Amino acid sequence: MSKSRSRKQQPKNWRTIVIAVGVLTFAACFCGLAAISLGQRAMNFFQPATITSQEPAPITWSADSADLTIAVAPVMAPTLAERVEAFNRQSLRTPDGKIMSVQLTLLTPQEIVDQSLGQPRFQAVAPDSSIWLNQIDQRWAQAQATQAGAISPRRVGEPVRYAISPIVIAAWEDTARALGWPENPVGWGEIQRRATQDSNFKWNHPSTQHAAGLLATLAEFYAGAGLTRGLTEEIATQPEVLDYVRSVEATVRFYGEGETVIVERLAEEGRNFLDAFVAQEQTVIQWNSGRRGNPLVAIYPAEGTLWTDHPLALLELGGDGALSVTNNQRLTFRSFVDFLTSEESQRAFLAAGYRPADLSIELDASGSPFANTNAVDWRQPKTTLQIPSAAVVEVIQNVWWYTKRPTNVYLVVDTSGSMEGENLRSAKVALNAFIAQIQGDRDQLGIVEFGSGVKRFEPLRTMSEGGRARMNELVINMQAYGNTALIDAVWQANQDLQTVADREAINAIVVMTDGQENASNYSINDLRRALEANRVPVVIFTIAFGRDADAALMQEMARIGGGQFRRADETDLEELYRIISTYF
């Protein structure tokens, strides 16, 4: 493979990058990313009456409705759902006799932001951090285009914080000790050095659409600047700060969907999955309370950390014919706030591993999950970092594309005869959605289209304007015919990634099929041996599309590729591709 296919050099003029990237609507790119995966996984925690799915029915509620729907982020959702059930059992009534009722709808924080700007199906929001509330208000003010000197309108009412949890680096106890815990402070520098020295060391933080990922990224920028407060756009885009963040990010094994999915994979795969990952402190407590052996410990970054402060806020809906929050819904909101801040609820949050908002409750008292354990330390963190302004956060989100670990990813696409018609049309929409997520010019994308054999092999291209146009053109021109040489197509993608041999990047294959393997020269055992012999690791994500897909083969392929297997149908294939894009 010629050097011309190697990754482009990092641009030198970082200020120019920030200005150019600023025109991108970063948040909009991620609208709807995790509704399916997180929804399907988290639904296991909820009773049906508590949480609703987003149905495409008309958005409406009566003028005297006392039913309050709250959009909640995934990590808090199970605990808040239990509190909702307890509240609803009281059957409280408004002065006009309406029963107060609360429901939850599960959304990622970025979805909460995006949907709050339109006519949402919810009247209140419970993201995991106030940072998302700031983004709602900033984007709402920008959308209203207020006159110079006018007071910008607020979309979010005064928030109430009902629980808190610091962002930590969760690690297996022996891994933490190898890093120097608990005798010595451990920070991002120690994580970066360990991952650089030991190629088998695996750690991750979620994508910046999740609080853990965004707050960890902000902490890295603070660490690079040597500050604990006062982070500005100018400081965040200084070359030395960006170089520091890039050096830490270069050691991330992959990104992803957040603690909910990470914990599930830890339960399935154990130590082999990750050595350490960024999460809320509560995740460590929950893991240890439900399992014996292989405990996790919370490492509080030496440079300081930020907190998830779990706010609950009412939206100021209405105007221009839009639905408004009713007086009865406001009464339900206030009653639910009183319930969440009551001693009963505050102790319930403590039992679930959160720190109560009520500071009079002692964390180290008998029965507290913070007592008699060294896995978490209620006296930590020693340093709390200041949440920067929404404008600074937006710049960091945008510039993160140039500091995060780059990606080489092959899309392996089944265009056999069984994909004819609606299946292929759905696949094309999904593929274009995936391509749209790849930003900047450091990530590279290739396509392997297969039927009876490999129909088209398009080598890795950077996602410049021309590269993106080329990939979209290939997708548009895909035609369905032939049998299903699935393994041969994955084999070729893996072989090319080994030829490119880019150790700085996340190397990945995303493969989709709707049928049974029936035409390959290579077997799954051949592929397993090839992956074991790889010079650079490759992670494989597999999607079984439709009822006839060989789910067993796809599961095995994902297992030996250290990735994930997902099922899809005609309604969620696009969403799955969007979700998978968060790993890169």
pLDDT digits (tens, 9 = 90+) for 535-566: 999 999 999 998 899 999 999 999 999 999 99
Pick from 432, 575, 431, 584: nearest CA to 32 = 575
First-to-final CA distance of the chain: 23
Q: How many residues are given for the chain?
A: 584
User: Which token pair is 26?
Assistant: 């970063």
Pick from 212, 381, 223: nearest CA to 300 = 381
Q: How far apart, in Å, are the Cα atoms of 56 and each of 4, 120, 138, 211? A: 47, 12, 28, 27
How many Å apart are CA 34 and CA 27, to the nearest integer?
13
Query: According to the 3-state scheme, what is the secondary structure of 449-489?
Result: EECCCEEEEEEEEECCHHHHHHHHHHHHCCCCCCCCCHHHH
pLDDT digits (tens, 9 = 90+) for 126-166: 999 999 999 999 999 888 865 445 566 789 999 999 999 99
Say what percent of the chain tops pLDDT 90. 74
pLDDT digits (tens, 9 = 90+) for 246-268: 999 999 999 988 888 899 889 88
Our measurement of the distance from residue 150's CA atom to the centroid of its chain's CA atoms, rounded to an integer in Å, reads: 36
Give exposure, 10-20, as e/b (b: 16+ Cβ within 10 Å). eeeebeebbee
Q: Is the peptide bond before 182 cis (omega within 30 degrees of 0)?
A: yes
3-state SS class at 215: helix
Query: Which residues, at least 6 apart from 123, have a Cβ–Cβ distance to it below 8 Å?
Result: 68, 69, 70, 314, 315, 317, 325, 329, 333
Instruction: Read off the amino acid at residue 198.
Output: D
Query: Is residue 555 a contact partner of residue 565, using CB atoms and an 8 Å limit?
Result: yes
Query: Is residue 128 a contact partner of residue 79, using CB atoms and an 8 Å limit?
Result: no
Question: Is the pLDDT confidence value at 16 over 80?
Answer: no
CA dihedral 381, 387, 393, 399 (to 10 degrees): -40
Q: Which domains are assigned to the chain?
A: 22-405 (3.40.190.290), 406-581 (3.40.50.410)
To which residue do tokens 């599960």 refer? 106
Parallel/antiparallel/unpaired status of strands 101-106 and 296-299: unpaired
* Mean pLDDT, range 317-343, rounded to an integer: 93
Task: Give ∠ CA 434-533-504 in degrees, rounded to 5.
Answer: 50
Neighbours of 180 (CB within 10 A): 15
Instruction: Count helices and strands (H / E) in the chain.
Output: 22, 18
* Mean pLDDT, range 54-60, rounded to an integer: 66
Indicate the pLDDT class of residue 573, thresholds 50, 70 and 90. Answer: confident
How many Å apart are CA 307 and CA 286, to the nearest integer?
17
Query: Is residue 104 a contact partner of residue 72, using CB atoms and an 8 Å limit?
Result: yes
Question: Is the pLDDT confidence value at 328 over 90?
Answer: yes
How many Å apart are CA 571 and CA 568, to the nearest integer?
8
Instruction: Read off the amino acid at residue 472.
Output: N
180-184, 342-346, 349-353, 572-576, range with the lowest pLDDT:
572-576
* Mean pLDDT, range 32-46, rounded to an integer: 36
Strand partners, 69: 103
- Cα within 13 Å of Cα(337), Cβ side: 18
Task: Give ∠ CA 209-245-534 in degrees, rounded to 5.
Answer: 85
pTM of the model: 0.85
Strand partners, 167: 280
Query: Which residues, at least 6 apart from 557, have a Cβ–Cβ distance to it below 8 Å?
Result: 490, 511, 524, 527, 540, 542, 565
How many Å apart are CA 486 and CA 120, to the nearest integer?
41
Question: Is the pLDDT confidence value at 111 over 60?
Answer: yes
Question: Is the pLDDT confidence value at 578 over 90?
Answer: no
Instruction: Read off the amino acid at residue 402.
Output: Y
User: Which token pair is 121?
Assistant: 């199906």
Query: Is residue 128 a contact partner of residue 75, using CB atoms and an 8 Å limit?
Result: yes
User: Mean pLDDT, the chain, as a whole number?
Assistant: 88
Q: How far apart, in Å, are the Cα atoms of 34 and each of 205, 210, 376, 448, 456? A: 16, 10, 29, 26, 30
Question: Is the pLDDT confidence value at 13 over 70?
Answer: no
Query: Which residues, at least 6 apart from 173, have a Cβ–Cβ distance to it below 8 Å?
Result: 295, 296, 297, 375
Q: What is the gyration radius of the CA atoms in the chain, in angstroms?
A: 24
How many Å apart are CA 124 and CA 70, to the nearest integer?
5
